[in-house]
């Protein structure tokens, strides 16, 4: 579990996150949603330690991440997997080497063991062996995301972070990625935090949803509750999509 | 004020880059890759430029020393000493700042804007050390070799061009390059090339590492890096010449 307590983050005096408190639960897909510029990515980067926080605490289970030193933080980061918006795969190495990279860096496994682990991870994200030797520039956007997920789970992380994993993908591939993240979260009992503004993801895999507006926590709930919420800002965000407005209307009409 | 900010951040980046590596074997692998990528791949351009400059210098010295009072071996001597003292170290470093420097800035800058550096940091890897240290070591290591190759091919360029164009005979040129040879000139220039190698790798790495924005900003950073590296090379050339040669 990851706990965020009274988090405040400012940039040049501008308060981007305002006193956010939330628990991201283990074994669940925790979603952070909100409009562009609402502070989702800043929150994610604060939790990851890429931004220093001005006030508040971040707890990874029983460890206070905000108080840990650089050395301890580095160790903790080996328990974290991250899937970036664009995949962030290393261009100069192949798909296989990308997934093997954290293993090369942090384990004493033999080459054979590493190859087995790479094959296991890539198989889990449905990447066929013929793609192993390709470079990231030779694969599609959807495949890049899947390889990034495989790399993120290579070290068997306890915490998985995803920054807009569906951006730039077609609806079918987005669904595949969502399902993959959901299944992996369950299989490996990870605390998964997904930053998204894709409503399909919210409905499909949003077991715990945090809605942020202008840096403030506006609403917390599940995908089952979100369509019936009374929060005006949340409703404005969701029902900007006519499909969901129609869905709500149908639910209300029974 | 901005200048001091950049100087401070540059040294703080160097401090991070020279930190203890996470896994020596991975860094060594990266080092060999950089030696090949930045150093060995530069040999071709060094050879071509040096041959032409050596030939051009021989023709120009022959033109300048046309007075019958000057002994003809002076043409070979002047070509050799110019290559040894200035061209093969300083001029070559300026050329390499364009080739290697822009390569380093654009590579690291692209990694920054595509979040690859963030990805390394989240894995718990010191990105400055992993990306920059092997480049600095590789360039510092390869620069003296590039200097030696440049001197050799520069002299060879003069040797071929002089007799072909009829500006000097082969024996006169060979006599010139053997006359009054001062080995310290080579030592001096190798010291310079080590310093220039460090600048050519570290300054562009700094501009790439801290780039913000997108592809356009990476391009701008590459230009800024090359300009600043060139200025620093000339500045250090002046200092080293004053310290080591006078």
Q: Is residue A45 assigned to a domain?
A: yes
Same domain, A26 and A42: yes
Q: Is residue A220 assigned to a domain?
A: yes
pLDDT tens, residue by residue, B85-144: 999 999 999 999 999 999 999 999 999 999 999 999 888 889 999 999 999 999 999 999
Region B154-159: what's the mean pLDDT?
Answer: 95
Same domain, A162 and A248: yes
- Decide if pLDDT at B167 tops 90: no
Domain that holds residue A192: 2-79+158-252
Q: Is residue A97 assigned to a domain?
A: yes
Do residue B116 and residue A88 have CB atoms under 8 angstroms apart? yes
Domain-terminating residue out of A116, A136, A156: A156
Chain B residues near residue A156 by CB distance under 8 angstroms: none
DSSP summary character for residue B246 = -
Do residue A106 and residue B114 have CB atoms under 8 angstroms apart? no
Chain B residues near residue A74 by CB distance under 8 angstroms: 124
Region B157-162: what's the mean pLDDT?
Answer: 93
Domain-terminating residue out of A112, A128, A156: A156
Closest among B131, B153, B151, B115 to B201, alpha carbons compared: B131
Q: Hey, is the C-beta of A102 within 8 angstroms of any chain B C-beta?
A: yes
Q: Is residue A87 assigned to a domain?
A: no
Q: How many CB atoms lie within 10 A of CB B96?
A: 28
Do residue A82 and residue B22 have CB atoms under 8 angstroms apart? no
Residues of chain A with pLDDT under 70: 248, 252, 254
Q: Hey, is A115 helix, strand or coil?
A: helix
- A47: which residues sit within 8 A by CB, 6+ positions away? A2, A4, A58, A65, A161, A193
Same domain, A67 and A139: no
| Residue A171 to chain B, least CA–CA distance (Å) | 23
Chain A residues near residue B119 by CB distance under 8 angstroms: 82, 84, 88, 90
Angle at B48 between CA B43 and CA B49, to 5 degrees: 100
Same domain, A53 and A142: no
Instruction: Please state the domain count of chain A.
Output: 2
Same domain, A48 and A162: yes
Contact between residue A32 and residue A195 where contact means Cβ atoms under 8 Å apart: yes
Do residue B116 and residue A90 have CB atoms under 8 angstroms apart? yes
Which of B23, B115, B124 is facing A88, going by the closest CB pair?
B115
Same domain, A104 and A151: yes
Q: Hey, is the C-beta of A88 within 8 angstroms of any chain B C-beta?
A: yes
Check residue A138 and give its pLDDT: 93
B211 to A108, A132, B29, B198, B232: CA distances (angstroms): 34, 31, 26, 20, 20
What distance in Å separates the CA atoms of residue B148 and residue B92, rounded to the nearest whole number? 11
Domain-terminating residue out of A136, A156, A176: A156
Same domain, A73 and A199: yes
Q: Is residue A219 assigned to a domain?
A: yes
- B10: which residues sit within 8 A by CB, 6+ positions away? B202, B203, B206
Q: Is residue A56 assigned to a domain?
A: yes
Check residue A30 and give its pLDDT: 94
Same domain, A30 and A50: yes
Q: What global pTM score does this model have?
A: 0.86
Region B180-208: what's the mean pLDDT?
Answer: 95
* CATH code at position A226: 3.40.50.300
Q: Which stretches of chain B sit within 8 Å of chain A by CB?
A: 22-23, 26, 110-111, 114-116, 118-119, 121-125
Q: Is residue A195 assigned to a domain?
A: yes
| Partner B, chain A 193-232, Cβ-Cβ below 8 Å | none
A with B: how many residue pairs have Cβ under 8 Å apart?
A: 50
pLDDT tens, residue by residue, B37-84: 999 999 999 999 999 999 999 999 999 988 888 888 899 999 999 999
Chain B residues near residue A80 by CB distance under 8 angstroms: 122
For an interface test with B, give the residue of A70, A88, A148, A164 to mutate (most B CBs within 10 A). A88
Which residues lie across from A97 on neighbouring strands?
none
Check residue B173 and give its pLDDT: 92
Same domain, A193 and A215: yes
Same domain, A104 and A67: no
Which of A86, A101, A161 is facing B115, going by the closest CB pair?
A86
pLDDT tens, residue by residue, B2-11: 889 999 999 9
Q: Hey, is the C-beta of A72 within 8 angstroms of any chain B C-beta?
A: no
Which of B23, B115, B123 is facing A77, going by the closest CB pair?
B123
Same domain, A164 and A248: yes
Same domain, A168 and A67: yes
What is the predicted ipTM? Answer: 0.82
pLDDT tens, residue by residue, B20-30: 888 888 899 99
Q: Is residue A50 assigned to a domain?
A: yes
Check residue A237 and give its pLDDT: 83
Chain A residues near residue B115 by CB distance under 8 angstroms: 84-86, 88
| Residue A137 to chain B, least CA–CA distance (Å) | 13
Q: Hey, is the C-beta of A239 within 8 angstroms of any chain B C-beta?
A: no
Chain B residues near residue A90 by CB distance under 8 angstroms: 111, 116, 119
Do residue B123 and residue A105 have CB atoms under 8 angstroms apart? yes
């Amino acid at each position: 579990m990851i706990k965020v307590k009274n988090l405040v983050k400012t940039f040049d005096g501008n308060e981007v996150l305002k006193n956010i408190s939330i628990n991201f639960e283990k074994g669940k897909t925790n979603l952070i949603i909100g409009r562009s510029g609402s502070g989702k990515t800043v929150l994610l980067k604060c939790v990851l330690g890429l931004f220093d926080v001005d006030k508040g605490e971040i707890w990874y289970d029983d460890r206070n991440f905000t108080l840990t030193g650089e050395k301890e933080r580095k160790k903790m980061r080996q328990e974290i997997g991250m899937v970036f918006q664009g995949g962030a795969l290393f261009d100069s190495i192949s798909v296989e080497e990308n997934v093997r990279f954290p293993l090369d860096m942090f384990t004493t496994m033999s080459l054979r063991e590493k190859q087995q682990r790479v094959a296991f991870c890539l198989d889990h994200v449905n990447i066929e062996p013929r793609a192993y030797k390709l470079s990231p520039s030779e694969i599609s956007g959807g495949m890049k995301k899947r390889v990034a997920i495989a790399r993120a789970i290579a070290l068997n992380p306890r915490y998985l972070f995803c920054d807009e994993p569906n951006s730039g993908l077609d609806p079918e591939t987005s669904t595949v990625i969502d399902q993959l993240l959901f299944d992996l979260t369950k299989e490996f009992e990870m605390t998964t935090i997904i930053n998204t503004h894709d409503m399909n993801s919210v409905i499909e895999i949003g077991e715990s949803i945090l809605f942020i507006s202008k840096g403030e926590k506006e609403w917390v709930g599940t995908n089952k509750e979100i369509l019936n919420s009374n929060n005006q800002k949340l409703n404005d965000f969701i029902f900007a999509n006519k499909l969901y407005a129609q869905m709500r209307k149908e639910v209300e009409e029974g | 004020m901005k200048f001091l900010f950049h100087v401070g951040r540059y040294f703080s980046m160097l401090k991070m880059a020279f930190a203890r590596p996470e896994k020596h074997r991975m860094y060594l692998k990266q080092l060999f890759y950089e030696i090949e990528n930045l150093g060995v791949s530069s040999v071709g351009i060094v050879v071509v430029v040096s041959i032409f400059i050596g030939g051009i210098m021989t023709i120009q010295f022959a033109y300048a020393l046309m007075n019958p009072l000057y002994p003809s071996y002076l043409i070979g001597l002047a070509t050799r000493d110019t290559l040894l003292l200035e061209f093969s170290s300083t001029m070559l470093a300026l050329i390499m700042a364009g080739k290697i420097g822009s390569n380093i800035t654009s590579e690291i800058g692209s990694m920054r804007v595509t979040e690859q550096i963030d990805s390394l940091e989240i894995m718990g890897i010191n990105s400055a050390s992993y990306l920059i240290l092997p480049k600095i070591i590789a360039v510092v290591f390869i620069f003296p070799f590039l200097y030696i190759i440049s001197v050799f091919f520069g002299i060879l360029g003069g040797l071929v061009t002089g007799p072909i164009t009829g500006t000097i005979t082969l024996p006169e040129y060979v006599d010139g390059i053997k006359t009054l040879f001062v080995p310290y000139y080579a030592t001096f220039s190798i010291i310079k090339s080590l310093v220039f190698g460090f600048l050519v790798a570290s300054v562009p790495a700094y501009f790439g590492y801290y780039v913000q924005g997108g592809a356009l900003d990476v391009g701008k950073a590459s230009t800024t890096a090359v300009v600043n590296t060139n200025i620093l090379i000339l500045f250090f050339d002046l200092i080293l010449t004053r310290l080591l040669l006078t």
